[in-house]
């Protein structure tokens, strides 16, 4: 679902201890075709969660505030 991490999509990745220059070169797949029953908001949220670069990846708090969850009855959630 994700392509191989590079310096373009995750600056600093090649400096990480477990990075291997020999990782296979995966190309981007069409995520929407892999999760067909997902709504456009769900797809947007999933794509935001699957970003390699942690500085650009959606935070847990922002994910909970994403439009995908707007119709969720928050009264049914456990207290935080």
At 78, is the pLDDT very low, low, confident or very high (cuts 50, 70, 90)?
A: confident
pTM (two decimals): 0.75
What is the rounded distance in angstroms from the CA atom of residue 5 to the CA atom of residue 26? 9
Neighbours of 5 (CB within 10 A): 16
The closest alpha carbon to 58, from 73, 41, 36, 37, belongs to: 41
CB half-sphere exposure, 18, CA atoms < 13 A: 1
**Those residues with Cβ within 8 angstroms of residue 64's Cβ, 6 or more apart along the chain or in another chain:** none
pLDDT tens readout for residues 6-23:
899 899 999 999 998 888
pLDDT tens digits for 17-64?
999 888 888 877 778 887 888 999 999 999 999 998 999 999 999 998
């Amino acid at each position: 679902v994700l392509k191989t991490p590079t310096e373009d999509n995750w600056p600093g990745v090649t400096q990480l201890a477990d990075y291997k220059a020999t990782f296979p070169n995966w190309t981007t797949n069409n995520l929407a075709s892999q999760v067909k029953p997902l709504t456009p908001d769900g797809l947007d949220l999933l794509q935001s969660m699957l970003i390699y670069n942690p500085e650009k990846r959606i935070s847990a708090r922002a994910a909970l505030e994403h439009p995908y969850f707007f119709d969720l009855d928050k009264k049914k959630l456990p207290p935080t």
